[in-house]
């Protein structure tokens, strides 16, 4: 029913965490905590009765842990949004990445190094509530606020643009990103002729483990970026958690600079910070890609890239877990194309190869459409 509150089931073996999360969520008028469970078996036994819209699932629990619970839930319900609630440790990160590979919708890390209960509650509130609303479609959809009324003014795939040279691909992604990148990066060939840099919204520890996992599945070399890394063809550099990744020019070419400057869009690393730095090294020879994610991070940075003469691809709504970041680019009227995830690797490869060969053909297939359209 329209206007009904979002029904949430909280599953965690800690009574303190169950109480804290329940209090935080119940303070929001759009959310109702319909039940709590002390372990996965308890949650499964009550799933049909409670009929939650979202499940918050602890990673480590006795009797039945979060990963096994996730597997059992997915056997009967492929669409229920499940948010993993994990510790900011290597073990917690590994288990969370396992869960994302097996169908978890998103994850939140438990508060750590906080001085008070109120700070813990604020941390949980800022992370959990927006994700719950995003995954249930309760956040406002991006509304187009820029650009002329005539979409044909935007000609991102006109011959001059499609044949322009691409010397770097930069990717921004958030919610749903680990699975989306796992579908994208391994499809790129060993001889991919330009470097890729990626900002995925993730905390420390998670980015390093994710880079290692992605490297094992890919033909390109994937690693977590370190300060001073050279940006070279055949490499995929992923921004480390809690550090902005920017590019600067050095004598031997562009290199990575990491910093802990202020958060942007409530994020560090931020896509905007990375995107803004790219034209200083590559001028108009960059291809920006905005993939699934909550919020609008990347849109302002993408403006810098397209205004410098670069180009833009965004993931389509149907294949995005949350169409926040890509939808915001569409709403902003930025020139580019909208592409479904299964076609994204071929579209990027075609655009890079076509630009280097001077080809005038549009990237991708008939499944792509203009961002501004």
Q: Which residues are catalytic?
A: 174, 201, 297
Strand partners of residue 249: 254
Using omega within 30 degrees of 0 as the cis cutoff, is the peptide bond preceding 269 cis? yes
Secondary element (H or E) of residue 199: strand 196-200
The DSSP result for 271-308, as a single string, is HHHHHHHHHHHHTT-EEEEE-SBSS-TTHHHHHHHHHT
Phi–psi pair at 157, nearest 5 degrees = -110, 25
Give me the helices (H) in the chain, please: 15-26, 40-50, 66-76, 90-101, 117-135, 159-162, 177-184, 206-217, 271-282, 299-307, 325-331, 341-357
According to DSSP, residue 197 is labeled E
Burial (0-12, 13-18, 19+ Cβ within 10 Å), 127: buried
Distance CA 34, CA 8 (A): 6
105, 186, 257, 280 from 250: Cα distances, Å: 40, 30, 11, 11
Distance CA 297, CA 287 (A): 16
């Amino acid at each position: 029913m329209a206007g009904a509150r979002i029904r949430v089931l909280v599953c965690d073996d800690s009574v303190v965490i169950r109480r804290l999360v329940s209090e935080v969520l119940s303070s929001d008028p759009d959310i109702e905590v319909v039940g709590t469970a002390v372990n996965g078996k308890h949650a499964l036994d009550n799933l049909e009765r409670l009929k939650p819209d979202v499940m918050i699932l602890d990673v480590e629990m006795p009797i039945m842990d979060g990963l096994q619970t996730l597997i059992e839930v997915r056997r009967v319900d492929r669409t229920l949004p499940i948010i993993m609630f994990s510790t900011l440790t290597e073990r917690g990160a590994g288990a969370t990445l396992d869960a994302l590979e097996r169908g978890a919708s998103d994850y939140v890390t438990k508060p750590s190094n906080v001085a008070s209960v109120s700070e813990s509650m604020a941390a949980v509130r800022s992370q959990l509530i927006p994700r719950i609303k995003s995954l249930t479609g309760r956040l406002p959809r991006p509304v187009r606020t820029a650009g002329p009324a005539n979409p044909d003014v935007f000609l991102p795939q006109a011959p001059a643009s499609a044949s322009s040279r691409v010397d770097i691909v930069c990717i921004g992604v958030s919610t749903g990103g680990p699975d989306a990148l796992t579908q994208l990066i391994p499809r790129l060939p060993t001889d991919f002729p330009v470097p890729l840099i990626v900002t995925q919204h993730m905390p420390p520890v998670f980015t390093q483990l994710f880079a290692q996992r992605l490297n094992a599945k890919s033909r390109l070399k994937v690693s977590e970026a370190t300060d001073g890394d050279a940006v070279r063809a055949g490499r995929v550099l992923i921004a480390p958690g809690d550090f902005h990744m920017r590019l600067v020019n050095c004598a031997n070419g562009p290199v990575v600079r990491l910093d802990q400057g202020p958060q942007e869009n409530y994020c560090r690393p931020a896509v905007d910070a990375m995107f803004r730095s790219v034209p200083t090294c590559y001028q108009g020879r960059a291809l920006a890609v905005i993939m699934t994610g909550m919020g609008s991070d990347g849109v302002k940075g993408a403006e810098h890239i397209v205004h410098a003469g670069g180009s833009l691809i965004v993931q389509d709504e149907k294949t995005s877990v949350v169409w926040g970041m890509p939808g915001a680019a569409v709403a902003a009227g930025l020139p580019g194309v909208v592409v479904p995830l299964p076609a994204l690797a071929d579209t990027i490869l075609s655009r890079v190869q076509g630009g280097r060969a001077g080809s005038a053909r549009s990237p991708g297939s008939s499944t792509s459409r203009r961002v501004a359209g």
